[in-house]
Amino acid sequence: MAQSPTPSYPVGAYYLTIFGGVVIAFVGVILFFAGITFTIFFSEVGTTILTFSFLGVLVGLLLLVCAWMLRRAHRWTPAIGVLIVLLAGASLPFTLGGFGLGFVLALVGGILAILWKPSAHGPMFVYTTPAGAAPNLPSLQRVCPTCGAMSSPGSTFCSKCGKPYA
Ligand SMILES: [Zn+2]
């Protein structure tokens, strides 16, 4: 019975950050149209809203970049988490935190990324049965803590991502 590799990136943090970023950027777009409407009647207020809407969309897009990095830059996952928390906070003045929802989503996503530990995410070794092998003769495979790929037990580095094993 072959086991599928455990996810090698913080899945919850990844999706929460994406949803948070999308909500904050979406509220930014709404503010943009509100700002245009206001500019017609109250130019001062409208200009302020337009500025906030641009900054809100920017914060939302930066959150999407952070989510993208969560899937790749594993070594920096806690640092990216801190960045996500800061961006969630930055969304508060510009889009009211994506009306609160985007702020909460990104904040929890950032905290999950900070707390995420690759080594605690799955066993270093896993028993698998290669296809065609006798089912009662499982072979010990080494699981990469970084990317989740399996290598032969004697290997000292990952055959997929090249990271040396501790
Ligand atoms: Zn690897």
Give me the tens of pLDDT residue by residue for the chain, a chain 166 residues long: 444 455 678 889 999 999 999 999 999 999 999 888 888 888 788 888 889 999 999 999 999 999 999 988 677 899 999 999 999 999 998 888 888 999 999 999 999 999 987 654 454 555 555 565 555 555 677 888 888 888 887 788 888 898 887 6
Helices (H), 11-142: 11-41, 43-70, 77-99, 101-115
- The Å distance, Cα 142 to ligand 1 centre, comes to 10
Domain limits for position 129: 123-166
Element (H, E) at 127: strand 125-128
Q: Phi and psi at residue 136, in whole multiples of 5°?
A: -90, 10
Q: Are residues 111 and 142 in the same domain?
A: no
Q: Are residues 130 and 79 in the same domain?
A: no
Number of domains forming the structure of the chain = 2
- The Å distance, Cα 69 to ligand 1 centre, comes to 16
Q: Are residues 22 and 77 in the same domain?
A: yes
Q: Are residues 55 and 127 in the same domain?
A: no
For residue 33, give both structure tokens. Answer: 């149209």
Burial status of residue 65 (CB atoms within 10 A of its CB: 0-12, 13-18, 19 or more)? middle
Q: Are residues 38 and 77 in the same domain?
A: yes
pTM for the structure as a whole = 0.65
Burial status of residue 116 (CB atoms within 10 A of its CB: 0-12, 13-18, 19 or more)? buried
Q: Are residues 16 and 63 in the same domain?
A: yes
- The Å distance, Cα 58 to ligand 1 centre, comes to 33
Q: Are residues 109 and 128 in the same domain?
A: no
